[in-house]
Amino acid sequence: MREITIDHLDDIARGAAILGTGGGGDPYIGRLLASSAVRDHGPVALVPLGEVGDDAVVLPVAMMGAPTVMVEKLPSAEQVGLAARTLATYLGKELTHIACAEAGGVNSLIPVVAAAQLGLPLVDADGMGRAFPELQMVLPTLYGIRATPMSIADEKGNRGVLDTVDNHWAERLARSATIDMGCSAMISNYAMSGAQARESLVPGTLSLCAELGSAVRQARAEHGDPVARVVERLGGRKLFTGKVVDVARRTVTGFARGEAKLSGMDGDAGSEMVLKFQNEHLVAERDGVPQASVPDLICCLDRESGEAVTTEGLRYGQRVTVIAAPADPRWHTPEGIDLAGPRYFGYDIDPVGVPA
């Protein structure tokens, strides 16, 4: 895949929602926005991470906020360009590439919108290899790349630039602005050189999204097992199959926080799984015992169709299979664990990984 056409968007959105581990936004909304942008501006060139030149100016763009809000207050196309242009002006630099900050149903496709609008190529990579809720939680932070100067823009035309002493301060100030802007905003941050991008990003994410999305679609067409195909491709494992019997969800401090209870089915009958989330799934417990946790991926998929169920989309009665898959190995370094391990989120447990 060397360019993204309208025909690719369904698969990318489907696959990105899986890597989004419950967050990163609704794939339906991501696909709508990207379809419209590609229809208006034409296909987007996709550049492998290894081909980005040292001096490239790479700008990630993303939605920030609570996915529960994004499904009701849709981002505007203008907002995407506004965030990128505001930062480019502040930096006084000519942009050469757009990138993805994270993988997710919206956040893998917002960069497609930006690239189409600005007529720039998109880098086939992202900053996490998954989605995480806070903006300092990207691999570039581990490489000392600063989140700021960053821009933030809302659908009304308000915009701002933040330039902070560290990435945690960027998160704090941007989160407050996001809440004021109505709990969802467009951001552009971690502007970096091509050399920095090659070192710090996760390569091939958009291709992987397309591949996952296509595998799920094909497995369905062949009456196969879409969930098994995802597990196989990601090198993960099935944790639990069950029915959603309770969802406690509140949108607080700008996040969708809560937990979902699943009552076991099939081989898991008689057991219960609890998924704890902050935009993304953070910990999966079976009968009170953690089975997987950040930084590894916990994905909740429709048991039959293999489609990802986002945390804001969890509903009573859904039949789902929960799978775990290994995160980029850099997330398992002590610095990675400090940044996005279970203790950062207030769970007093060591990370529960995915056995190889």
Least distance (Å) from its own copies to the CB of residue 148? 9
Reference 23, options 298, 212, 211; nearest CA is 298
Considering the complex, state which of residue 177 and residue 206 has its C-beta at the smaller distance from its own copies: 177
Question: Closer to its own copies at the Cβ: 163 or 222?
Answer: 163
Q: Minimum distance from CB of 134 to its own copies (Å)? A: 14
What is the maximal distance between C-alpha atoms in the chain?
Answer: 60
Minimum Å gap between C-beta 36 and its own copies is 24
Residue 140: CB atoms within 10 A of its CB come to 23
CA neighbor of 58 nearest in space, from 101, 105, 25, 104: 101
Q: 164 or 193: whose CB is closer to its own copies?
A: 164
Q: Which is nearer to its own copies, 187 or 230 (CB)?
A: 187
Nearer to its own copies, 154 or 312 (CB): 154
Cβ 161 to its own copies shortest distance, Å: 4
Q: Provide the minimum distance between the beta carbon of 175 and its own copies in the complex, in angstroms, as a whole number.
A: 9
Residue numbers of the site for its own copies (CB under 8 A)? 86, 90, 156-165, 169, 172-173, 176-177, 179-181
Q: What is the DSSP string of 177-246?
A: HHHHTTSEEEEE---EEHHHHHHHSEETHHHHHHHHHHHHHHHHHTT--HHHHHHHHHT-EEEEEEEEEE
DSSP string of 38-104, one letter each residue:
HHHH--EEEEEGGGS-TT-EEEEEEEEE-HHHHTTSPPPHHHHHHHHHHHHHHHT----EEEESS-S
How many whole angstroms from its chain centre is CA 5? Answer: 21
Please say which residue, 88 or 115, places its beta carbon nearer to its own copies.
Answer: 88
Smallest separation (angstroms) from its own copies to the CB of 261: 35
- Cα–Cα distance for residue pair 12/220, rounded to 1 Å: 16
